[in-house]
Amino acid sequence: MSLIDALKGSEFANQWILDPKMIYLNHGSFGATPSAILEKQSEYREKLESGPVRFLIRQMEEMFELSRIKAANFVHASPHDLVFVQNATTAVSTVFRSLHFKPGDEILITNHTYAACRRLVEFICEQSGAHLIEACYDFPINSPDVILEAVLSKVTSRTKIALIDHITSATAIIQPVAAIVKELERKGVDTFIDGAHAPGSIPLDLENIGAAYYTGNCHKWICTPKSTALLHVRRDKQDQIHPLVISHAGHKAQPFTERFYWPGTFDPTPALCVGDAIDYLAAFFPGGWPELMQRNHDLCLEARNLLCQQLNIEKPCPDSMIASMATLPLTPPETIVFTDYKGVDPFQDRIFREFNMEIPVWCSPNPPTRLIRISVQLYNSLEQYRYLGTVLKQLLKSETA
52-281 has CATH 3.40.640.10 classification = yes
The answer to whether residue 33 scores a pLDDT higher than 90 is yes
pTM, entire model: 0.96
pLDDT at residue 4, rounded to an integer? 65
> Mean pLDDT, to the nearest integer, of 24-45?
98
> Which residues 6+ apart lie within 8 Å of 341 measured at CB?
115, 116
pLDDT at residue 366, rounded to an integer? 67
pLDDT at residue 337, rounded to an integer? 77
* Domain-wise residue ranges, the chain: 3-25+289-400, 52-281
* Residue 55 binned pLDDT confidence (cut-offs 50, 70, 90): very high
The answer to whether residue 3 scores a pLDDT higher than 80 is no
Selected residue with higher pLDDT from 4 and 144: 144
| Domain 3-25+289-400 superfamily per CATH | Aspartate Aminotransferase, domain 1 (3.90.1150.10)
pLDDT at residue 307, rounded to an integer? 98
> Mean pLDDT, to the nearest integer, of 20-27?
96
pLDDT at residue 120, rounded to an integer? 98
Please state whether the peptide bond connecting residue 140 to the residue before it is cis, i.e. omega within 30 degrees of 0: yes
The answer to whether residue 6 scores a pLDDT higher than 80 is no
Gyration radius of the chain over CA positions:
21
The answer to whether residue 63 scores a pLDDT higher than 80 is yes
In tens, the pLDDT along 363-400 reads 877 677 899 999 999 999 999 999 999 999 999 988 87
pLDDT at residue 343, rounded to an integer? 82
The answer to whether residue 1 scores a pLDDT higher than 60 is no
Mean pLDDT for the chain?
A: 95
> Mean pLDDT, to the nearest integer, of 303-309?
97
The answer to whether residue 264 scores a pLDDT higher than 80 is yes
> Mean pLDDT, to the nearest integer, of 5-13?
86
> Mean pLDDT, to the nearest integer, of 332-355?
86
The answer to whether residue 216 scores a pLDDT higher than 60 is yes
Share of the chain above pLDDT 70, in %: 98
* Residue 84 binned pLDDT confidence (cut-offs 50, 70, 90): very high
pLDDT at residue 8, rounded to an integer? 85
In tens, the pLDDT along 112-170 reads 999 999 999 999 999 999 999 999 999 999 999 999 999 999 999 999 999 999 999 99
Q: What is the 3 state secondary structure string of the chain?
A: CCHHHHHHCCCCHHHECCCCCCEECCHHHHCCCEHHHHHHHHHHHHHHHHCHHHHHHHHHHHHHHHHHHHHHHHCCCCHHHEEEECCHHHHHHHHHCCCCCCCCCEEEEECCCCHHHHHHHHHHHHHHCCEEEEECCCCCCCCHHHHHHHHHCCCCCCEEEEEEECECCCCCCECCHHHHHHHHHHCCCEEEEECCCCECCECCCHHHHCCCEEEEECCCCCCCCCCCEEEEECHHHHHHCCCCCCCCCCCCCCCCCHHHHCCCCCCCHHHHHHHHHHHHHHCCCCCHHHHHHHHHHHHHHHHHHHHHHHHCCCCCCCHHHCCCEEEEEECCCCCCCCCCCCCCCHHHHHHHHHHCEECCEEEECCCCEEEEEEECCCCCCHHHHHHHHHHHHHHHHHHHC
Selected residue with higher pLDDT from 198 and 6: 198
pLDDT at residue 401, rounded to an integer? 65
